[in-house]
Amino acid sequence: MPATLTPALAGISLKSPSGPAWEFLILFLVVIVGPPLMTRARVPGIIGLLIGGFVIGPYGLNLIGAGNTTVPDLGQLGLLYLMFVAGVELDLSLVRVHRRAVLTYGVLTFVLPMLFGTVIGLALGWILPAALLLGALLSSHTLLLYPTARAAGLSADRGVATAVGATVLTDTAALVVLAAVSGTQVAGGSPGSIAAQIVLGLLVLVLFTLLLLPRFARLAFRYLGTDRVVRYLLAVASFLAAGTVADIFGIEPIVGAFFAGLALNRLVPNEGPLMDRIDFFGSAVFVPIFLVSVGLLLDPKVMIEGETLKLAGLFVAASLAGKAAASGIARLALGYSGPQATLMLGLTVPQAAATLAATIVGFNIGLFDQSVVNAALVLILVSIVVGTLLVDRAVPAVPSPLEVGRRVGARILVVLADPGQAPLALSLAARIAAADGGVVRGMLAAPPGRVEALEPRLAELQAAGYAVGIDAEPRLLVHHALPHAVVDIATANRASLVILGASTADETSPLGSDAEAIAAGLAVPVAVLLGFEAKIREVEVVREPVDRPGGGAFDADGLAIDLGRRIAGARVETNDLVPEGLQAPRLGLLRIMPATSWQLFAGAVEPRSDSAVLLLPDL
């Protein structure tokens, strides 16, 4: 080596990597590598994150030491995010459809594990708050395996719907117990004052999340949410605000985050763009970091201790026994088949979100020690494995429901040739979809020669959608044969209703002349909208004569009444179809009428500028 370089090299000093860049690099390497390794070993990916947290934590390689605050703080944000997503993803329409079964099974699958857990806690000599928190920990469940049932086409199965709906009850009840227990341990004062504070706090939280927050969010989405980034940040701010309100009253912020998810459930459809972003950032960043932060608490020395193994065995036995008993009783009481009951058990056995939440909160407020935390992590691992085995066994034995996705408001496709109809068409679609928590997709249809003229007007559809709270990004449909294109797109998107815009009743109107071809090519209802007025205040349903021979693929009269009630509530009139009843609708009226032929009404039902007509081709 040249002598001239020796002094320069001697002055170079290296240090061990540290700081935020190093910590985040380690975190993301665990998130990238951990789940795939576990998946290849046929172990759920969540276990890879927990083990990865242990490896880099103070009890492993100590790459992230015990005094680190960045990762735990991000983990707390991830926990709030996880509970928010748990609330916003639930299909609340299933709760309404199967409310008796949901209530019965929800009570059973909460009360029995709660009872077993509380008894075990008291038998171990724990104080009552710790025993109650243990019961709440065991009674909740996370729908980690629901995607498996959905992928098998069983999302509309009665047993699956019951298990999904019961999650609302079990997680809400478990988090209320958590709020009460943590409030009694953290707040000062007499038992009466603490109880009053918790009750008041829960009341204020419910009012804020279920009454005020949806209204604020709807207004914010309408006036501030024209940018996709802003809409996402509004969703994040919503659960942070709810968590702050809960914390003010001494209630754990995760309770507020879960309630915020329930509050925004209808505003964030599961298949909309905003839900895609929430899922993406949650699964890519926030939730994995939370799970890694939990893994930092893993201590093998504690995990192999007799006390930890004893607790883990008791927790697993109490949880599995409670859930199995609930499934067995529900099978006898509600008439489920054996495979359905097994599938329900498999869906409600896995413990993750609320269980981790209750465990970490109990540890932070001093009710649980490290042995309980490690035992709870063993419970999570065992419950996920058992649930996976049960679901894999039950899914092939449960027949697919005959009516899957038949809710008319589940997936609405709006196809317009004139952007001027967007305010009316998207407003009606939003009202129809609201009852089912559905998603609305808008498209501007154009033949190849009109692309340049219509493409700049996509913004009108987007603005009209935001104005009525639709979480959708409109697209331009360009095709030389629009009827075939609409049929293909509606089929590919599993549309439950297609609304076609026609500026006039003239059969040469864009899309209007193709309505019959589109209706004939689809097995779902098709509606043709005439008019531009968006301020619909009442609905008139015009019914076909009862002695009309034949019939179409669906009951147009029944559908018309259903749509009318969704759009206008109780303000729905019904009249028979007679020639003198075909005059132009009055101010603010939407007329819904079955159409046996598009030409039958051409030129006869032209709406005024302050009214509209919705035709339902019944072929």
* pLDDT tens figures, 121-171: 999 888 888 888 889 888 888 776 776 776 677 766 788 878 877 877 787
Q: Give yes or no for residue 72 having a pLDDT over 50.
A: yes
What was the pLDDT predicted at 585?
66
What was the pLDDT predicted at 120?
92
Question: Which CATH number is 166's domain given?
Answer: 1.20.1530.20
Owner of token pair 């129809």: 432
What was the pLDDT predicted at 512?
55
Structurally, the chain folds into a number of domains equal to: 2
Q: Does residue 604 share a domain with residue 542?
A: yes
Single residue among 365, 397, 429 that ends a domain in this structure? 397
pLDDT band at 534 (very low <50, low <70, confident <90, very high): low
Single residue among 349, 375, 397 that ends a domain in this structure? 397
Q: Give yes or no for residue 551 having a pLDDT over 50.
A: no
CA-angle at 66, arms to 63 and 70, nearest 5°: 80
Within-domain flag for 260: yes
Alpha carbons 309 and 379: distance in angstroms, whole number: 10
Higher pLDDT among residues 314 and 599, named by residue = 314
Q: Does residue 417 share a domain with residue 324?
A: no
Q: Does residue 249 share a domain with residue 225?
A: yes
Higher pLDDT among residues 232 and 183, named by residue = 232
SS3 content of the chain, % helix, strand, coil (to 5): 60, 10, 30
Within-domain flag for 4: no
Within-domain flag for 6: no
Least confident of 30-39, 152-161, 383-392, 539-548: 539-548
Q: Does residue 323 share a domain with residue 193?
A: yes
Q: How many helices (H) and strands (E) does the chain have?
A: 27, 9
Q: Does residue 222 share a domain with residue 266?
A: yes
pLDDT band at 404 (very low <50, low <70, confident <90, very high): very low
Owner of token pair 């040739």: 417
Within-domain flag for 223: yes
% of the chain exceeding 70 in pLDDT: 81
Within-domain flag for 268: yes
pTM of the model: 0.71
Q: Does residue 267 share a domain with residue 161?
A: yes
* pLDDT tens figures, 465-522: 777 777 777 888 887 778 888 888 888 888 889 988 876 555 445 555 677 778 778 8
Cα torsion 355, 361, 367, 373 to 10°: value is 50
Higher pLDDT among residues 455 and 253, named by residue = 253
What was the pLDDT predicted at 603?
46
Q: Does residue 599 share a domain with residue 503?
A: yes
Q: Does residue 578 share a domain with residue 508?
A: yes
Within-domain flag for 50: no
Within-domain flag for 127: yes
Maximum Cα interatomic distance, the chain, rounded to a whole number of Å? 108
* pLDDT tens figures, 198-230: 778 888 888 998 889 988 888 887 777 667 788
What was the pLDDT predicted at 115?
92
What was the pLDDT predicted at 510?
52
Alpha carbons 154 and 400: distance in angstroms, whole number: 6
Q: Give yes or no for residue 266 having a pLDDT over 60.
A: yes
Higher pLDDT among residues 252 and 292, named by residue = 292
Within-domain flag for 566: yes
What was the pLDDT predicted at 324?
92
Terminal-to-terminal C-alpha distance of the chain: 91
DSSP annotation of 56 reads: H
Q: Does residue 263 share a domain with residue 140?
A: yes
What was the pLDDT predicted at 466?
75
Domain that holds residue 75: 66-397
Question: Which CATH number is 548's domain given?
Answer: 3.40.50.12370
The most confident of the ranges 297-301, 379-383, 480-484, 485-489 is: 485-489
Higher pLDDT among residues 295 and 312, named by residue = 312
What was the pLDDT predicted at 552?
43
Q: Give yes or no for residue 577 having a pLDDT over 70.
A: no
Q: Does residue 514 share a domain with residue 374?
A: no
Q: Does residue 419 share a domain with residue 310?
A: no
Single residue among 397, 429, 462 that ends a domain in this structure? 397
Average pLDDT in the chain: 78
Q: Does residue 298 share a domain with residue 415?
A: no
What was the pLDDT predicted at 6?
64
H or E element, residue 135: helix 128-139
Least confident of 156-160, 209-213, 452-456, 578-582: 578-582
DSSP letter string, 193-224:
HHHHHHHHHHHHHHHIIIIIHHHHHHHHHHHT
What is the arithmetic mean of pLDDT over 98-116? 88
